Structure 1
Amino acid sequence: MPRSAVVIGASGGIGGALLAAIEDEGGFEAVHGFARSWQGDRHLDLTDEASIAAAAAHVATGPAPELVVVATGLLHEAGRGPEKALKELDAEWLARTYAVNAIGPALVAKHFLPLLPRAGTPVFAALSARVGSIADNRLGGWHGYRASKAALNMLVRNAAIEAKRANDRSIVVALHPGTVDTALSRPFQGNVAPGALFDAERAALQLLDVIEDLKPVDSGKLFAWDGTEIPF
């Protein structure tokens, strides 16, 4: 049967590399890329549910998507960045962080999960982060980013449970891409260990390898770029 794939956040470093890699590998009749900065049928703003619904409606006119990847994230913007201490917390910035890192992907799941086929093993994956793991948190800080990614992980777990009611072989996961040389990580690359900074093309291929190896039992979990499970 004809198949399609979807990449949301396709104008970003990882998202663009994922879109290119999926197109290069073939196997899909259609590959849809969406981004906030794009116009027309390819526009999708995570903070605008109407645009998410419109994108889903556009995809629904073609083959059912067997792969949906939400390749988005917000760590810093317009001079604001991750907080090092509680005294730096700001309600407006926290709300913005949650809107992009947790609420937006949840709304994507709301509109795109119903499009997944009810047979086979379709995959819905959202980029999360190791620092969003509560169990793995040893350093503290980065309050808004950590907490919003932890919220995303919970929403992924909930979505995985609900998706199985429609197709018990569906897979809904969160993925940690590692530290990737993109605009998101660039201000914070000084402490990255040698060999631990990936270019976007390598990161995309690593993530697709992880996705390819997923099984239905893996649904609702968080996996790193090397396929290891990260505890929530």
Structure 2
Amino acid sequence: MNVVVVGGNGGIGSALVNVLAADPKINKLFSFSRCQGAAKTTCDKVIYGFVDLERESSIQQMGNSLEGEELDLVIVASGLLHDQDLKPEKSLRALQMANMQRLFMINSIAPALIAQQLIPKLRKRGRTVFAVISARVGSISDNRLGGWYSYRASKAALNMLLKTTAIEVNRTHPDAIICGLHPGTVDTSLSSPFQKNVPENKLFSPQQSAGYLLDVISKLESDDSGKVFAWDGDEIPA
């Protein structure tokens, strides 16, 4: 198997790289991130590359670097909820265009552009998977608390992009599975400000989360394409 992880320097992404690198079924493992100084495994099968998800040309260059490769699994593990300049909005008055644009760029547009580049490189025959880290808060029907306007909307947009992509891809890659994955609450910098009320047994380490997500991926079938699944395998409604 040839595998790509985008966002391989993040909490979940780096855990995915470590778990996959130890899998004897993996032939090549491409790990792309913007952080060139990230910790790297010494495993010979792991090939590191650069990508800036806020630059379309950089995503295109990532695709070009994989020219000639036949891929079996792509996992986009990148995502943005907050940083030093950006916080989840609690009300309409907190909305700012620049923050909304950045969240949509990282969480929605970049995964779509990655799909544009990498899905044509999936093997034409046999089971292949293109998976993106989504979020339960991207479910419109499950939204009971409100708030987090831009993050919720960017993940809902991602889920629609994945569904639409799945319909198109089925025509050329009938065995391909396009899906979103909700990792639960993982003990990373993304969730650290929001862990206060999380039950102890529902705060996962990155290694736990990586294991859960790979287990979900391993059980997906072609009829699951276009859907979003939680870490425990349950389907998340649109």
For Structure 1 versus Structure 2, the TM-score category normalised by the shorter chain is over 0.9
1:16 corresponds to: 14
1:29 corresponds to: 27
Contact 2:3 2:72 in 1 (8 A): yes
Distance in 1 of aligned mates of 2:131 and 2:120: 14
More divergent stretch after superposition (51-60 vs 96-105): 51-60
Q: Deviations over 1:128-160 (max 9, x none)?
A: 000000011000000000000000000000111
1:117 corresponds to: 123
1:67 corresponds to: 73
Distance in 1 of aligned mates of 2:155 and 2:65: 28
1:92 corresponds to: 98
2:136 corresponds to: 130
Contact 2:107 2:155 in 1 (8 A): yes
Identical positions, percent: 47
Is 1:78 aligned with 2:84? yes
Is 1:156 aligned with 2:162? yes
2:150 corresponds to: 144
TM-score normalised by length of structure 1: 0.96
**1:194, distance to aligned residue in structure 2 (A):** 2.3
Contact 2:187 2:206 in 1 (8 A): yes
1:43 corresponds to: 50
TM-score normalised by length of structure 2: 0.93
Is 1:7 aligned with 2:23? no
3-state SS, counterpart of residue 164 of structure 1: helix
Q: Deviations over 1:28-78 (max 9, x none)?
A: 21000000122896001111122112212222343x110000001100012
Is 1:182 aligned with 2:199? no
Is 1:223 aligned with 2:221? no
2:208 corresponds to: 202
Residue segments in structure 1 that go unaligned for 5+ positions in a row: none
Distance in 1 of aligned mates of 2:60 and 2:2: 17
**1:162, distance to aligned residue in structure 2 (A):** 1.2
Distance in 2 of aligned mates of 1:130 and 1:26: 32
Distance in 1 of aligned mates of 2:52 and 2:205: 25
Contact 1:66 1:117 in 2 (8 A): yes
Distance in 1 of aligned mates of 2:161 and 2:90: 25
| Aligned length, in residue pairs | 229
Distance in 1 of aligned mates of 2:23 and 2:204: 20
**1:168, distance to aligned residue in structure 2 (A):** 0.9
Is 1:56 aligned with 2:75? no
Contact 2:30 2:48 in 1 (8 A): no
Distance in 2 of aligned mates of 1:214 and 1:22: 17
Residue segments in structure 2 that go unaligned for 5+ positions in a row: 38-46
Contact 1:41 1:58 in 2 (8 A): no
> What root-mean-square deviation, in Å, do the aligned CA atoms of Structure 1 and Structure 2 show?
1.3
Contact 1:41 1:55 in 2 (8 A): no
**1:26, distance to aligned residue in structure 2 (A):** 2.4
